[in-house]
Amino acid sequence: DGSELADIKNYVSANYKKPDEEMFGIAKEKNVILISMESTQNFVINEKVNGQEITPFLNDFIKESYYFENFYHQTAQGKTSDSEFLVDNSLYPLSRGAVFFTHSGNEYNATPTILKDKGYFTAALHANNKSFWNRDIMYQSFGYDRFYSLPDYQVSNENSVGWGLKDIDFFEQSVQHLKEMPKPFYAKFITLTNHFPFDLEEEDQFIQPYNSADKTVNNYFPTVRYQDEALKNFIQRLKEEGLYEDSIIILYGDHYGISENHNEAMGQFLGKEVTPFVSTQLQKVPLIIHIPGQEGKTISKVSGQIDLKPTILHMLGIDTKGSIEFGADLFAKDKMDFAVLRDGSFVTKKYVYTRDICYDKETEQPIDKTACEPYMAKAKNELQYSDKIIYGDLLRFYEDADQE
């Protein structure tokens, strides 16, 4: 039976945060355009390399959007697929393996399923083989109506690099798909060009590589810059097609691009040693939410990918009370400053806890562990409860209870 769910339900309902009245339903019946930015870490935002902006478009776009500057990815080995899992379900991925492969047969209550019920058309767009990360199977469990994958794109040698179709061409071709979708839609776009090992032809390099002994770090900057250009073009096309004003646009980084193997060159770029504290801070990814007619605002609240589902649903005027999920609405007044990373590290307003060391964010130095202790149980509980749900396929009981 679902008796294991009782504890979890209690925990989840105690953590529910009431939506902000001004934000609840602010985007009711609008289209949702979700953009997963490959390997995009937050340190590139408002930053330069060789004196040139790395993300000139995003830096501008932020000024007319909500920008969350302390937003963390919470992925593990499942990389992009883990981020998709987090965003659509508000559950944590697994610490080992990819939940997209290991638990695709589970029952979920993902955002597309919920939105379909409210009359939305739901789609994922990504110019790769549909079975990569087992997406074709998992997307069905999440309730996606349509997956625009490799056969839905014209891919040639000329418009490809590295992993496949270049982002500029991907977005350009995707506009046609968007135009044909029933409205309102929930459409998730997954970029690809800024993928390790960050290959890019000379003609697509809008900025020069960084100059260090580490080729990966050097090449990261031009591919991030290329992606920025692709995003600029896409937003422009949305405007031309009359889709911009009817849509909320949410951009987020899926996971880190530069692993700890590159600490030396990263340290050179940042101008400081990459300590475990700095390494944890490098797990910040951008989150940008654009709502037509709303002014821009930078929000410093500590948050993570797990928080996106309730945030999106509340903006659309759909309450999440009673849903089994671990995130909280980012616009809720009493949203806690908190993000647990999948390795058990966590971040609060004042502290970073990683590798059993508690750091003071202001000094970036280790401090007595007692400061972090009040949050340790919460971090542990969340990961364990989420794991239990996945391993026990517990949402099937939740669904049953719902129908009674």
Indicate the residue among 126 and 342 with the shorter CB distance to ligand GP9. Answer: 126
Whether 80 is a known active-site residue: answer yes
Nearest of 68, 34, 23 to residue 298 by alpha carbon: 68
With contacts defined by CB under 6 A, name the span among 147-155, 187-195, 200-208, 355-363 that binds ligand GP9: 187-195
Per CB under 6 A, the list member of 16, 132, 206, 244 interacting with ligand GP9 is 132
Residue closer to ligand GP9 (CB basis): 130 or 225: 130
Comparison of 192 and 243: residue with beta carbon closer to ligand GP9: 192
Build a one-symbol-per-residue string for 190-229: x at contacts with ligand GP9 by CB under 6 A, - elsewhere.
Answer: x-x--x----------------------------------
Binding site for Mn ion (CB under 5 A): 38, 79-80, 254
- What is the β-pairing status of strands 287-290 and 160-161? unpaired
Q: Is 38 within any annotated ligand binding site?
A: yes
What φ, ψ does residue 211 adopt, rounded to 5°?
Answer: -115, 95
Out of 79, 232, 284, 342, the only residue in the binding site for ligand GP9 (CB under 6 A) is 79
| C-alpha closest to that of 76 among 390, 300, 401 | 390
Residue 255, marked binder: yes
Binders in 38-57 for ligand GP9, by CB under 6 A: none
Number of residues that bind ligand GP9 (CB under 6 A): 8
Is the bond leading into 93 cis (omega within 30 degrees of zero)? no
Distance (Å, rounded) from C-alpha 251 to C-alpha 37? 7
174 binds ligand GP9 (CB under 6 A): no
195 is in an annotated binding site: yes
Q: Which does 109 bind (CB under 5 to 8 A by kind): ligand GP9, Mn ion, none?
A: none
In this chain, which stretch among 188-196, 220-228, 258-266, 343-351 interacts with ligand GP9, using CB under 6 A?
Answer: 188-196
Q: Which of 55, 75, 80, 111 is catalytic?
A: 80
Rounded least distance, CB 190 to ligand GP9, Å: 5
Binding region for substrate:
195
Residue numbers in the known binding site for Mn(2+) are 38, 80, 254-255
Positions marked active-site: 80
User: Which residues in this chain contact ligand GP9 in the complex, by CB under 6 A?
Assistant: 79-80, 126, 128, 132, 190, 192, 195
